[in-house]
Amino acid sequence: MGPETYTEKWLLQQIDSTLAFYYPTCIDEENGGYHHSFYDDGELRSDTTKHLVGTSRFIYNFSIGAILGRGEFCKDAAEHGLRFLQEYHQDKVNGGYFWSLDGQEVTVDKKYAYGHAFVLLAASKAYEAGIEWARDVVESVYQVLEEHFWETPYQLYADELTADWSEMSEYRGQNANMHMCEAMMAAYEATSDRKYLERAYEIADAVTGRLAAQTKGLTWEHYTPDWQPDWTFVETEESKQEFRPHGFVPGHSIEWSKLLLMLDRHISEPWMLDRAVHLYQEGYQKGADTEYGGIIYSISADKIMMDTDKYYWVQAEIFGASALLAAKLGNPAYWQRYEAMLDYCSDNFIDQEHGGGWFNMLFRDNLRQSPIKSEKAKADYHPIANYYETLRAMGAV
């Protein structure tokens, strides 16, 4: 049994409509790179911020479009962003990539593992899409990560350094490592170099094994410099809160479930499926909103509902993980969950009125919070990534 409503054809249509919402308006002809901030109807906002994660996610999205043959514009749009990434986000003095720009001017020069994970992901998919020179970007960002972020005793990446690499923050977080695992798998799939796959394996085992064992079976977000759970950490800097959320985030446990199943395609060991099922079930059971539908954002250390807003990316991860589990286990219940989640997303998150894209955030009762569809780092990467991984699980790619 496979999906009855949200089939290969539907998934490809959604990728097309999402890309069409952003392109060609997102192409910044004046400064290079992309415009990142859009209202619901596709009108550009006046915000000229260019975020490293947003730039990288647009490159990823257009690369996926090129890989799937969704139009000749996709490869050109991806390469357009990659050139900007190398010309303006890249620190040509110290190496690595700046976090944020205004137009072409650096506004935040710190170096974050989270941002570098998305550079690696973007470059890997760009290379897979046929942009040959992206292979050099893949290797160079990997070397930066090895030299400055990798902590061998813990088999994990540190989180934040100053522009010249002279000072490292004491903060450690699972979020950057989760996306680094994803990026390393993408680098392996693009290049066939096993060093990337081995690194993805190490990260996955560390986070879903050693760390999760310390934190009640779910993926806690925040850690001390020696990778002990930091139960009291709260990010006070608003610009970082999106990437350092408070509490347990069910969506991250579900996202890890998906990543373990992706890793299982290349290195299949029993613990991967066991942990994938556990993290999926825990994340869903603790996060599912039985009254209004969807998955809430966060729960407390005692696993009590805390932030009950609905974030677009959490809903995208649950349909993707459901599809991968359905394909792996042959269990129709997971296809039913996949269809049910996409029913919810179609009713509440996917913008039917304006022809494409997902709303960013809803209140618990699914009412809109803002007329802004996308800003800073969103770019609808999570839906496109999960459409793509679902197509792979179906054997359509």
**Sequential pLDDT tens for the chain (397 residues):** 578 899 999 999 999 999 999 999 999 999 999 999 999 999 999 999 999 999 999 999 999 999 999 999 999 999 999 999 999 999 999 999 999 999 999 999 999 999 999 999 999 999 999 999 999 999 999 999 999 999 999 999 999 999 999 999 999 999 999 999 999 999 999 999 999 999 999 999 999 999 999 998 889 999 999 999 999 888 877 766 777 888 899 999 999 999 999 999 999 999 999 999 999 999 999 999 999 999 999 998 888 899 999 999 999 999 999 999 999 999 999 999 999 999 999 999 999 999 899 999 999 999 999 999 999 899 999 999 999 999 999 999 9
Range of the domain at 185: 8-393
β-partners of residue 112 are 160
Helices 73-84 and 113-128 meet at what angle, rounded to 10?
140
pLDDT of residue 360: 97
Of 36, 116, 179, 382, which residue is the catalytic one?
382
CATH code at position 12: 1.50.10.10
Contact criterion met (CB below 8 Å) for 318 and 254:
yes
pLDDT at position 237, please?
78
Contacts of 274 (CB under 8 A, 6+ apart): none
CA distance 169 to 158: 8
Given 252, 266, 278, 354, which residue is catalytic?
252
By C-alpha distance, which of 225, 236, 139, 259 is closest to 187? Answer: 139
**2 in a domain, yes or no?**
no
Q: Omega of the bond prior to 24 within 30 degrees of 0, cis?
A: yes
- Residue 266 is among the residues annotated as catalytic for this protein: no
Residue 150 lies in a domain: yes
Query: Is residue 3 included in any domain, yes or no?
Result: no
Structure tokens at 291: 């009254």
Structure tokens, 5: 């409503």
Domain count along the chain: 1
- DSSP SS3 for 296: coil
Q: How far, in Å, CA of 178 to CA of 185, rounded?
A: 11
pTM (2 d.p.)? 0.97
Query: How far apart are alpha carbons 232 and 299 in whole angstroms?
Result: 14
Catalytic site includes residue 382: yes
Q: Residues with Cβ < 8 Å from 332, sequence gap 6 or more?
A: 1, 326
